[in-house]
Amino acid sequence: MARKVFISFLGTGPANKGYDKVYYSCKQDNFKSTKTPFVQQATLHWIKMKENAFPDITYILLTPKAKELNWNALKKRLAGMGVKYQTVEDLPNGNNEIELTQLFKAVDDIVQEGDRIYLDVTHGFRYMPMLMLIAAHSAIITKKATIVHVSYGGFLSAENKVAPLIDLLPMVKLLEETTAKGGEEAKLELLEKFTPKKYKILVCGDVSCGAKEIEEQLNIAVSKIDANIEFEIDYFVGYDLFGNNKKMQTVNSNAFDFIIYGPMPHKFKGSSDMSFENYIAAKKLKAKVFGQYKRGALNKFKIQTIAKEIARNI
């Protein structure tokens, strides 16, 4: 049976002073770690949450300085978690071609035939993630291994002691796909995957949330589906949308993908009972409509529900 193998370099911290304690968080998986100075601890808990188990073996790669400063503390945490671990010690910093080759070999030696590889690429010099990915990718070819997890802990971008855990696996899978295909087809697929999908939304009527808050709720809702989505919100603050000929011309031009509306006192000209939804259908417009005609202004909680509905229609 294939092993599940977690591999991570342990660093020395800023100015060789170790790491401050932060929470690590992945919003798309609704994960937040306990407060810890070690991204390895947080990442292993994240993996366990998703797979209901820790990897079979954790390898921590150490330079002499990283071992001196941080290993004893991390070792205690790993032992307390019940994680099975091994170290690869006395590694060089990678200051020249010989040392880089030694680092590559250290990663390659860890991987066995058919392993499922989990990579944390947070620590080390800036080129270290590339080296780890190259070594792991080599193992795919030479040892029929599989890369199933790649992540980075954004310690330096922490806000209010919460640092993001960034899932990099889609980048690796993209590399594998484009390597296999090559040529113009791969280039077109690459551009398509990284070109943001833009959706225009009209918000109108009695809505108690501002455009910024609505965009935030939309981004939260779609992040689990596709992080490569952008919204452009046209916020009509006027009370009478239907009496605004210019705005209605924009609606009729099929400019909007979605319309969010709160209660409005006016009906469409020429019709005393035509709803927004029926108007869009009669005009054969592409916009999907979400909102309410009664029960007060649309508040944050109703917007959250609408955002989830919009996400399901993207």
- State which of 183, 209, 230 marks the end of a domain: 183
**Residue 190 domain-assigned?**
no
Q: What is the DSSP string of 59-70?
A: EEE--HHHIIII
**pLDDT, tens digit, for every residue of 263-312?**
876 555 444 456 778 888 888 999 999 987 777 788 888 998 999 888 88
Pair 152, 132: CB distance under 8 Å: no
Of the candidates 79, 127, 80, the one whose C-alpha atom is nearest the C-alpha of residue 103 is: 127
Nearest CA to 214 out of 309, 310, 304, 308 is that of 304
Q: 178 with 201, same domain?
A: no
97 and 211, same domain (yes or no): no
Domains of the chain: total? 2
Residue range(s) defining the domain that contains residue 279 = 196-312
Both 177 and 205 in a single domain? no
User: Which pTM does this prediction carry?
Assistant: 0.61
Q: Side by side, which strands form the sheet with 162-167?
A: 31-32, 23-26, 162-167, 146-153, 116-120, 4-9, 57-61, 85-88
pLDDT at 183: 52
Residue-level pLDDT at 194: 55
Q: Which segments in the chain show pLDDT lower than 50?
A: 269-272
pLDDT reported for residue 128? 76
8 and 128 fall within a common domain: yes
Domain final residue, candidates 148, 183, 218 = 183
According to the model, what pLDDT value does residue 237 have? 75
Q: pLDDT (tens digit, 9 = 90+) per residue, 137-163?
A: 788 888 889 999 999 998 877 788 899
Task: Report the C-alpha gap between 271 and 249 in whole angstroms.
Answer: 17
Supply the pLDDT for residue 176.
Answer: 66
pLDDT of residue 117: 94
Q: How much is the pLDDT for 16? A: 72
